[in-house]
Structures are given as structure tokens and as C-alpha cells.
Amino acid sequence: MSELSDDDIKQLASRLCAAQSDLEKQLKLGEEASSVVTLDQSKVGRVSRMDAMQQQQMALSTLTKTRQRLMRIKAALNAINTGDYGYCRRCDEEIGLPRLMAQPEAPLCISCQSLSDNQQ
């Protein structure tokens, strides 16, 4: 059994749901913004085209991060449904309530997370 109480899980689940709808909104806005940049490129000069491309790169990298976070959030919500929530996906140890409170979508415990950070 996990150390997480039903109340903890309820609280974390509602934060995950809120974060999910937030990120979905951000993604929608971001996708619209980056397609606007693409359309503008035909109309602007070389320097502003470089600017636009840089802006688009930034927008795309933000989008990628947002998508990755959204995937972790969906995986966490899914794990709540299946009763696997709160366990590290690498070592199967409990992730721990303080870490989950700070980052409800965390898929790894602190030691596995620092291992995978070091590998990058």
C-alpha cells in the first residue's frame, strides 16, 4: 500500500486535472501562435524573418516542453485510475508525498530522477 491517503490522492488528482486543462489551453494558443509566425514569413524582410524564425524556434521548444509535461500529467492521472500512482516507474519505490506535492506529475523518485538527469 502507498503512503498516500485517499485525500492526498484526491488533492493531487484535482491539481493534475487543473494543470491538464491549463496546459491544453497553452498548447492551443502556442500552436496558433507558431502557425501565425509561419504565415508571416512570406511578407517580411530577411532580418525580421530571422527574428521570426528564432521566435518560432522558441515557441516550438516551449510547445515541446508543454506537450511532454502534458503527457506526464496524463500518465499520472491514468496511474491514479489504475492504482499505480505514487510509485517510481523505474525502481517501483514510493515517490513520496513531499515530492508529489511539489510536482504531482513526477514519474520517478528523487534518486532515479537525479540518475536520469545525470545521463542527459
Binding mask 20-59 for Zn ion (x = CB under 5 A): ----------------------------------------
Distance between CA atoms of residues 77 and 71, nearest Å: 10
Which range binds Zn ion by CB under 5 A, 6-14, 57-65, 69-77, 85-93? Answer: 85-93
Cβ-proximal residues to 4 (8 Å cutoff; 6+ apart), any chain: 12, 85, 86, 97, 100
8: nearest Cα among 108, 95, 118, 88: 95
Residue 80 in contact with Zn ion, rule: CB under 5 A:
no
Residue listed under C-alpha cell 509561419: 38
Among 72, 74, 90, 99, binds Zn ion (CB under 5 A): 90
Residue 112 in contact with Zn ion, rule: CB under 5 A:
yes
Distance between CA atoms of residues 114 and 35, nearest Å: 36
Q: Is 4 or 109 the residue whose CB approaches Zn ion more closely?
A: 109
Among 18, 91, 101, 115, binds Zn ion (CB under 5 A): 91
Assigned C-alpha cell, 89: 516507474
**Interacting residue ranges for Zn ion, rule: CB under 5 A:** 88, 90-91, 109, 112
